[in-house]
Amino acid sequence: RKEVEQDPGPFNVPEGATVAFNCTYSNSASQSFFWYRQDCRKEPKLLMSVYSSGNEDGRFTAQLNRASQYISLLIRDSKLSDSATYLCVVIPPLVDYKLSFGAGTTVTVRA
């Protein structure tokens, strides 16, 4: 079983719609979780951290469900510029430098 698994999508949504997707992780002792964003043919960039209490950054909301071992990302009022691949990232326990990346979920926002 992979450390981090994501639905690859693509999620095709119209502008203004809400889109949400999850990511599951295998190591229940993982402590740190993040979402990175990668535009086509570009490098990954940190989008936001995911805290136990959940967190919100503008139109983006991230949640952590430790019991079911998944994290989620919700994008409200989608913009064309939100079209990208969203990478789920987990830091396993005891190896604080090693980011485990999911394969990514592709979101396409259409006009």
Partner 1 sequence: DARVTQTPRDKVTEMGQEVTMRCQPILGHNTVFWYRQTMMQGLELLAYFRNRAPLDDSGMPKDRFSAEMPDATLATLKIQPSEPRDSAVYFCASGLGRSETQYFGPGTRLLVL
Q: How many CB atoms lie within 10 A of CB 87?
A: 23
CB 63, min distance to partner 1, A: 17
Nearer to partner 1, 73 or 78 (CB): 73
**Interface with partner 1: number of residues (CB under 8 A):** 19
Contact 55, 48 (CB under 8 A): yes
Residue reference for tokens 């936001």: 48
CB 33, min distance to partner 1, A: 9
| Closest-CA residue to 89 (of 60, 59, 62) | 62
52 belongs to the binding site for partner 1 (CB under 8 A): no
Q: Which positions lie near partner 1, rule CB under 8 A?
A: 32, 34, 42-46, 49, 87, 89, 91, 96-99, 101-104
